[in-house]
Structure 1
């Protein structure tokens, strides 16, 4: 693996009592790119993420990050390398302010999360960086707002800020626009594009309009195995991908024009 690829899996597989959830996946994620992992429900996307972050041990296969074999590492070791995951469900503290949420993430990154006996004044040096991160995700004006009061889309933006506070080299975004209305989807999509500058993102996403607008490369899973890999224009025209999503090759994925023979 050359330095241009930040992450690679070789023959990565996971079985559960005879059921193959992830099947011999060879994946390469190019440094500095937004790489989307898509597929119909039950394709193995979340299980694959769980393997990358060590929430599950693989049945077989290898995971390389920055050319180092991390297959048998513990979750904390992998996180310290700079692989940080954002979950499907917004994971923020509802009864803390927006600024306090980001500051807590900064504390964690500094290794001072459990220094509860320190006065709050000792944390003021983190405020400037916290505000910078909030500005990066367009939440600067919400710094003193209680998180519970934020609209859902803003909470996901806050989760992006807390993820960035951990200084990830590789961000794993798990369904970042799930459950959002159109306006929030557009906002969060643009934020992901914005924060991707100088970073690498691997994202599981169900919204094909989001994928087509920001992903540099797309890998498609079906029944745990890769059935297509490449840019959106190529992948979306692949008959195997169309059939996996639509159950027929006589239609087109969102964002694509149907062929002359299509019946839409």
Structure 2
């Protein structure tokens, strides 16, 4: 019997990432404590909290740059707690860092082509003849068009404005065909205009994709996130949609006041 495609509604109800009792200690200091988190497929799940809340540590645990002191991580039905960072990436968990992670002296198109090399089975083999990569130009240009950078295809990444560099990074991340995108402060250091542009871009190009996002800007979170988890001192203090968490007394005390003071 031929299998039927999974509907968007079914995807949204399927848990693709789950942490159980996830904990990280650093010589007596507990940065992340007993985190039980579920992320449903096809949703944007935001992680917020004041400085030192444990957000980046949690991200580093997910991508195995840190080893948990206790607890487990399950992705797409598999226990990945003790997998290496490269194995996590191969399973489709791709992280975008706070600092733009593109090759500054390559063009926008060349940056996207490098990410697309996985489709040729020659990923990151820079000594291959450049003509081999020409077959990726159309796909690279389509991705650049999607993020509004088609006219900058020949421009070196170092010459792009900051907001456009982040757009390029999103294009290269999408090119890797992630099952889960981890966006680490995607609007960090941006002007108000760039924040709006990148927020619109994320909402448009990642629709239907699964994203866990650390973000300090509450306007961005409120406009993008389907679900929000609030951390404080390494623990979850609230979870729900924006309306629910923004009126939670613990959140207002721990986070919202400092955010509005920025």
TM-score by length of 2: 0.91
User: In structure 2, what is the equivalent of residue 184 of structure 1?
Assistant: 194
How far residue 247 of structure 1 moved from its aligned partner, in angstroms, is 6.1
- Specify which structure has the higher proportion of helix: 2
Mind listing any 5+ residue stretches in structure 2 that lack a counterpart? Answer: 1-10
> Residue by residue, what CA displacement relative to the aligned partner does 1:152-192 show, whole Å, maximum 9, x if unpaired?
00000000001111100100000000000011000100111
The aligned length equals: 249
Q: Does 1:74 align with 2:113?
A: no
Regions of 4+ moved over 6 Å: none
Q: Rate the CA distance shift 1:152–1:222 in 2: closer, same or farther, 3 A.
A: same
- Secondary structure at the counterpart of residue 211 of structure 1: helix
Structure 1 residue 22 and structure 2 residue 25: aligned?
no
Tell me, yes or no, if the aligned pair for 2:114 and 2:124 is still in contact at 8 Å.
Answer: no
Name which of 216, 220, 232 aligns with 1:222.
232
From 136, 152, 162, the counterpart of 2:162: 152
Q: Is the 8 A contact 2:115 2:175 kept in 1?
A: yes
Kindly report which structure 2 residues correspond to 1:38-49, keeping only aligned pairs within 5 A, or say none.
38-49=48-59
Q: 1:196 is matched with which residue: 201, 206, 209?
A: 206
Alignment partner of 2:108 out of 98, 116, 119: 98
Q: Which runs of 5+ in 1 are unaligned?
A: 255-264
User: Counterpart in 1 of 2:62?
Assistant: 52
Tell whether the 8 Å contact from 1:32 to 1:196 is kept in structure 2 after alignment.
no
Go from structure 1 to structure 2 and tell me whether the alpha carbon gap of 1:219 and 1:94 turns closer, same or farther (over 3 Å shift): same
Moved more, 105-114 or 29-38: 105-114
- Change in Cα spacing, 1:53 to 1:178, as seen in structure 2 (3 Å) is same
Give the Å deviation of 1:114: 4.3
Q: Deviations over 1:98-152 (max 9, x none)?
A: 1001111112564423433332111111111111111111111110111111000
Q: Does 1:133 align with 2:143?
A: yes
Give SS of 1:47's match: helix
* Rounded Cα–Cα distance in structure 2 between residues aligned with 1:214 and 1:228: 18
Partner of 1:163: 173
Aligned 8 A contact 2:199 2:224 in 1 = yes
CA contact (8 A) 2:144 2:153 kept: yes
Q: How does 1:105-120 map to 2 (within 5 A)?
A: 105-108=115-118, 110-120=120-130
Q: Tell me the secondary structure at the aligned position of residue 23 of structure 2.
A: strand
Q: What residue number does 2:242 align with?
A: 232
